[in-house]
Amino acid sequence: MKAVLSLSLTIFASALLAACGGSSGSDTGSPTTATGDTVRIGVEGPLSGDQKVTGTGMLNGAKLAAEKLNAKGGLLGKQIEIVPIDDGADADTGVAATNAAIKSGLDGVVGPYNSGVGVKTLPLYEAAGLTPIRLTSDSSTNGLGYTLQPMDYQIAPVATQALTDWLKAKSVAIAYDPTPGYTVTVAAQMKKLLEEAGVKVTAYEAVKPGASNYTSAVAELEATSPDAIYAVVYFPEGGLIAKAMDASSSSVKCLADYASADPGFVTTAGQAAAENCPVVGVPSPGDFPDGGSFDSAYQDQFGEGPGTWSSYVYDSVNLLASCVESAGGFAITPNADGSTTAQVDGSTPLTKCLNATDNWKGVTGSVTIDPANGNRDPATVVVLGTDSNGALHVDKDWANVVGAPY
């Protein structure tokens, strides 16, 4: 049975705002839960703009999870409806979209992806009594719901080890996206960890996101004579930096940060450039023992391979559903005035179940949640290489050097 899917957010939000007479960016009005024959789970991500491919992969992962759950009877005896929430990788856009979705009625939410958006939208979901399963990686979002993907403090040490033990870099130039949030945090962590490891940081430069090419920025970084450049940017910029480095005559090595871990990185960089610039990220579904069936199901449903975060959203929906069934509901607490109160401190059956998650099995492997911050521990951080088919997979040479179990 197919999952019931909502209209695009553009149509949905326009109709909603017309009905409600508009909404300010920070006013959630009277948040309500869904009523009716469906369970409504929102998926917030960049469904438009430069990172659209990431958001599409997220949304499709949720759709696939909902379809399979609905085929087994749904959730709480109701069919699951996936509600797209397009934040365009922009905080202001995300706040408006989140407020609109909350007013429409949601039972649960997965996302967002961008940490700079999440610091604004996650508190709105919690204030509405929802328990987010987020995909943000900046520590500023610790405790704002739960996540199955790695956090900044889990990513930077792996990247540092890759540069020092694997690439043998004695000097590194760091380029980073100065947008507040994940990239700024990780860039600072990387600088500190590299210097503590005795590595000379030859440059620490902010690069403006959204440029059409980064040839001049790469030339400036290479002029500082580093052994490697570490690019802490999202994949549109990461792919262009890799492309510029590949076109350069320099022998400087390239390593892209976790923020660039997306098939769009390869598309933007081009095959040759991507092969010469590994990416810190997470294993592709096929790299996990039980990921092959997910990969095949995704291919059959959508006619293409899954995005980097498709399997993580798929697992996020399934973990949420598992705990909702165990808790007997979403555990949203109604107030006398009809509003709701967020209870994400472990005091509801749902949050108690999520806090107690230990060795839960998903497509992305075993999941254990640290109840102190809602984060997965240990994290699934790896270095990815681009294969001859243009797909990102765990780099076997890296795994052998550092002793990673892949």
Q: What is the pLDDT along the chain (406 residues), one digit of tens a residue?
A: 333 333 333 333 333 333 333 333 344 444 446 667 899 999 999 999 999 999 999 999 999 999 999 999 999 999 999 999 999 999 999 999 999 999 999 999 999 999 999 999 999 999 999 999 999 999 999 999 999 999 999 999 999 999 999 999 999 999 999 999 999 999 999 999 999 999 999 999 999 999 999 999 999 999 999 999 999 999 999 999 999 999 998 999 999 999 999 999 999 999 999 999 999 999 998 898 878 899 999 999 999 999 999 999 999 999 999 999 999 998 655 555 554 444 444 568 999 999 999 999 999 999 999 999 999 999 999 999 999 999 999 999 999 999 998 8
- Chain-centroid distance of CA 41 in Å reads 17
What confidence score (pLDDT) does residue 193 get?
A: 98
d(CA 182, CA 199): 22
Q: For residue 263, give both structure tokens.
A: 């098939």
pLDDT tens figures, 118-175: 999 999 999 999 999 999 999 999 999 999 999 999 999 999 999 999 999 999 999 9
Strand ranges inside 9-165, DSSP E:
38-45, 79-86, 108-110, 132-134, 146-147
What confidence score (pLDDT) does residue 17 get?
A: 34
Q: Nearest to residue 58, comparing CAs of 358, 308, 235?
A: 308
Domain chopping of the chain, boundaries = 4-150+289-373, 152-281+382-402
- Determine phi and psi for 62, rounding to 5 degrees: -70, -40
What confidence score (pLDDT) does residue 338 get?
A: 52
State the angle between helix axes of 291-302 and 310-327 in degrees (0 to 180), rounded to the nearest 10.
Answer: 110
How large a percentage of the chain has pLDDT more than 70? Answer: 87
| DSSP per-residue codes, 337-373 | TS-EE---SS-SHHHHHHHT--SEEETTEEE-EETTT
Q: What is the DSSP letter of 40?
A: E
Task: Answer positive or negative: Cα dihedral of 201, 206, 212, 216.
Answer: negative
Q: For residue 216, give both structure tokens.
A: 């001049």
DSSP run (H or E) holding 175: strand 171-176
Q: What is the DSSP letter of 29?
A: -
CB 58 within 8 A of CB 135: yes
Q: Structurally, what CATH architecture does the domain formed by 4-150+289-373 represent?
A: 3-Layer(aba) Sandwich (3.40)
Q: For residue 328, give both structure tokens.
A: 């007997």
Q: Which residues make beta-bridge pairs with 233?
A: none
Q: Which CATH superfamily is domain 152-281+382-402 in?
A: Response regulator (3.40.50.2300)
How large a percentage of the chain has pLDDT more than 90? Answer: 83
Q: State which amino acid sits at residue 194.
A: L
- 147-176 burial, b at 16+ Cβ within 10 Å, e below that, comes to bbbbbbbbbbebbbbbbbebbebebbbbbb
What confidence score (pLDDT) does residue 116 get?
A: 94
What confidence score (pLDDT) does residue 290 get?
A: 77
What confidence score (pLDDT) does residue 336 get?
A: 57
CA angle, residues 137, 299, 58, in degrees to nearest 5: 25
Q: Nearest to residue 63, comparing CAs of 104, 7, 5?
A: 5
CB 182 within 8 A of CB 119: no
Name the maximum alpha-carbon separation found in the chain: 69
What confidence score (pLDDT) does residue 406 get?
A: 80
Task: Answer positive or negative: Cα dihedral of 289, 294, 300, 305.
Answer: negative
What confidence score (pLDDT) does residue 341 get?
A: 47
* Residues in Cβ contact with 158 at an 8 Å cutoff, skipping those fewer than 6 apart: 280, 381, 382, 383
3-state secondary structure of 137: coil
- Determine phi and psi for 234, rounding to 5 degrees: -75, 165
3-state secondary structure of 177: coil
Q: State which amino acid sits at residue 187.
A: A
CB 354 within 8 A of CB 131: yes
DSSP run (H or E) holding 267: helix 263-269
Q: Which residues make beta-bridge pairs with 147?
A: 134
What confidence score (pLDDT) does residue 289 get?
A: 81
d(CA 234, CA 265): 9
